[in-house]
């Protein structure tokens, strides 16, 4: 007798580095959970996804993004554009919401999105307003540690840590007092603190701070499980010494169990990344750090006049082109990180840090069906960092769709990069399939913008599902 499921993913490469699975097969989903994995030739389904050799991964998690839309101004991007419509099943907003705005984050972001949405709450009551533009809001007078503790306890399903900073601009004004307050709250809550490294604000007038000075004061404050962000930044951060070597303090922190998140952003440096990776330091998670000021077309043009002098021709917050979590994963591959490790950095490791391993991080029978389907495209690709340095890649990870609790959602986000623009000359003919997919996505993305609750993306996904044959006509 033929068996039946709600959703069948047919003819996929199933890849789960946690379970050690890398095989061709099918995945059956029923009641939003993974029901069976294997060669399911006689399985019938209400919906069929023909993977055609695409790779099914544990649901990807973007560990660093900014999705507190509207409340943080143009800094915040729609959660589903970063999430499911980019083939990502869960996202973590880093520091947008604060103790006094977490209720708005819950109602208007987390509850409205089809993407599972978490946050590391801001140290500061102001949260991530306009990307932390107004520096005077972020001194110790703008921090209420007890309010953070109360908000986190009342919203423990959303808040998984605290976002803080340790960078020269803030240090020149108030040393590390805000970070100390954040850490005090984190220790009460038994959650990690996520610390931004690298210049954020300009230094106070008449004060000069060396990044190493910040590192030395920060080092004894951190505990295993705390997280340092942006180890590959081009901005002064202390990660590298003036001689271009990994700073001994960074090495010591890594050896002590402090974790690193890529936090790619618009300031990634491939040269810095190579030095850090060559030293044996590998980030535990990979976040894309997407926000409205580093993705062209999301933030309003007036932001340049606020942040950058009008006579300055370079806007450091406008990146060359749109990018995605999968693009950041592709860069890690091109830098020599093995595929399995890259996948864990964007799935299982994130799930472990967020303590959601029972729902995300693995393709295990019985778990919720939170999956990402990608094409791992062979060819010749030219990647570019924020300094103009290029990196050649022979594989590119391109999202096809996300599956959230059994719901199929097409990866049609306008944030996704145009593959034709990063195809190297040698790969012009080899990348035909990927370019065709990019063109189809571009066409879908040219439709009018949808509100977070709009079901338009699902309608596109349904159009790609294969109609099931009638009884007795097994495919």
- Residue 424's pLDDT is 61
Distance of CA 323 to the CA centre of its chain: 11
Rounded Cα gap, residues 469 and 274, in angstroms: 52
Return the minimum-mean-pLDDT range out of 179-183, 240-244, 334-338. Answer: 240-244
Distance of CA 231 to the CA centre of its chain: 15
Is residue 408 within 8 A of residue 457, CB to CB? The reply is no
Return the minimum-mean-pLDDT range out of 41-45, 110-114, 312-316. Answer: 312-316
pLDDT at 415 over 90: no
Average pLDDT, the chain: 85
pLDDT at 318 over 70: no
Q: Annotate 117-139 with DSSP letters as a single string.
A: EEEEEESBTTTTGGGT--GGGGS
Is residue 78 within 8 A of residue 38, CB to CB? The reply is no
Instruction: Determine which helix (DSSP H) or strand (DSSP E) holds 378, and give its type and residue range.
Output: strand 371-384
Rounded Cα gap, residues 317 and 336, in angstroms: 27
- Residue 252's pLDDT is 97
- Residue 459's pLDDT is 28
In this predicted model, which residue has the larger pLDDT, 28 or 308?
28
For residue 413, count CB atoms less than 10 angstroms from its CB and return exposed for 0-12, middle for 13-18, buried for 19 or more.
buried
Q: How far is the CA of 113 from the CAs of 79, 253, 304, 378, in angstroms? A: 6, 36, 29, 33
Is residue 261 within 8 A of residue 227, CB to CB? The reply is yes
Each residue of 3-19: pLDDT tens digit? 899 999 999 999 999 99
Q: What percent of the chain has pLDDT over 90?
A: 72
Rounded Cα gap, residues 123 and 305, in angstroms: 27
Q: Which residue has the tokens 């719901």?
A: 407
- Residue 321's pLDDT is 52
Return the minimum-mean-pLDDT range out of 40-54, 317-331, 338-352, 444-458. Answer: 444-458
Residue 47 pLDDT class (50, 70, 90 cuts): very high
pTM of the model: 0.87
Which of 153-167, 318-332, 415-429 is predicted most confidently?
153-167
pLDDT at 418 over 90: no
Q: Go through the domains of the chain in sequence order and give each one's CATH number.
A: 4-58+367-374+396-464 (2.30.40.10), 61-354 (3.20.20.140)
Instruction: Determine which helix (DSSP H) or strand (DSSP E) holds 177, and give its type and residue range.
Output: helix 177-189
For residue 107, count CB atoms less than 10 angstroms from its CB and return exposed for 0-12, middle for 13-18, buried for 19 or more.
exposed
Buried b (16+ CB within 10 A) or exposed e, 183-205: bbbbeebebbbbbbbbbbbebbe
Is residue 249 within 8 A of residue 305, CB to CB? The reply is no
Three-state secondary structure call for residue 306: helix
Each residue of 61-97: pLDDT tens digit? 999 999 999 999 888 999 999 999 999 999 999 999 9
Q: Which residue has the tokens 């729609």?
A: 78
């Amino acid at each position: 007798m033929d068996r039946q499921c709600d959703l069948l993913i047919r003819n996929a490469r199933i890849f789960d580095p946690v379970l050690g699975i890398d095989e061709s097969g099918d995945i059956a989903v029923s009641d939003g959970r993974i029901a069976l994995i294997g060669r399911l030739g006689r399985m019938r389904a209400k919906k069929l996804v023909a993977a055609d050799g695409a790779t099914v991964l544990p649901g990807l998690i973007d560990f660093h993004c900014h999705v507190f839309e509207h409340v943080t101004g143009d800094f915040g991007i729609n959660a589903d554009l970063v999430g499911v419509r980019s083939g990502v099943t869960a996202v973590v907003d880093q520091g947008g919401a604060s103790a006094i705005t977490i209720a708005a984050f819950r109602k208007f972001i987390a509850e409205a999105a089809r993407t599972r949405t978490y946050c590391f709450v801001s140290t500061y009551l102001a949260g991530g307003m306009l990307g932390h533009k107004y520096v005077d809001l972020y001194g110790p007078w703008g921090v209420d540690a007890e309010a953070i503790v109360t908000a986190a306890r009342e919203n423990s399903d959303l808040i998984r840590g605290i976002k803080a900073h340790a960078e020269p601009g803030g240090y020149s004004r108030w040393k590390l007092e805000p970070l100390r307050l954040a850490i005090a709250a984190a220790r009460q809550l038994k959650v990690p603190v996520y610390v931004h490294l690298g210049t954020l604000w300009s230094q106070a007038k008449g004060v000069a701070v060396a990044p190493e000075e910040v590192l030395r004061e920060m080092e004894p404050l951190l505990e295993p499980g705390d997280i340092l962000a942006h180890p590959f930044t081009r901005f002064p951060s202390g990660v590298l010494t003036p001689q271009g070597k990994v700073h001994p303090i960074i090495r010591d922190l890594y050896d002590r169990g402090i974790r690193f998140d890529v936090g790619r952003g618009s300031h990634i440096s491939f040269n810095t990344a190579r030095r850090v990776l060559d030293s044996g330091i590998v980030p535990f998670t990979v976040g894309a750090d997407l926000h409205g000021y580093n993705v062209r077309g999301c933030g309003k043009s007036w932001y340049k006049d606020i942040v950058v002098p009008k006579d300055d021709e370079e806007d450091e917050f406008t990146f060359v082109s749109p990018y995605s979590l999968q693009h950041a994963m592709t860069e890690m591959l091109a830098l020599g990180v093995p595929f399995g490790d890259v996948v864990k950095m964007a799935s299982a490791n994130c799930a472990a840090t967020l303590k959601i391993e029972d729902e995300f991080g693995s393709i295990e029978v019985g778990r919720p069906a939170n999956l990402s389907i990608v094409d791992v495209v062979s060819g010749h690709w030219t990647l570019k960092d924020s300094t103009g340095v290029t990196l050649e890649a022979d594989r590119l990870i391109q999202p096809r769709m996300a599956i959230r609790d059994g719901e199929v959602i097409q990866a049609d986000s306008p944030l996704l990069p145009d593959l034709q623009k990063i195809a190297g000359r040698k790969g012009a003919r080899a990348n035909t399939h990927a370019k065709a997919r990019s063109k189809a996505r571009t066409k879908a993305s040219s439709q009018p913008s949808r509100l977070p609750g709009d079901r338009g993306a699902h309608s596109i996904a349904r159009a790609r599902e294969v109609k099931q044959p009638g009884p007795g006509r097994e495919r």
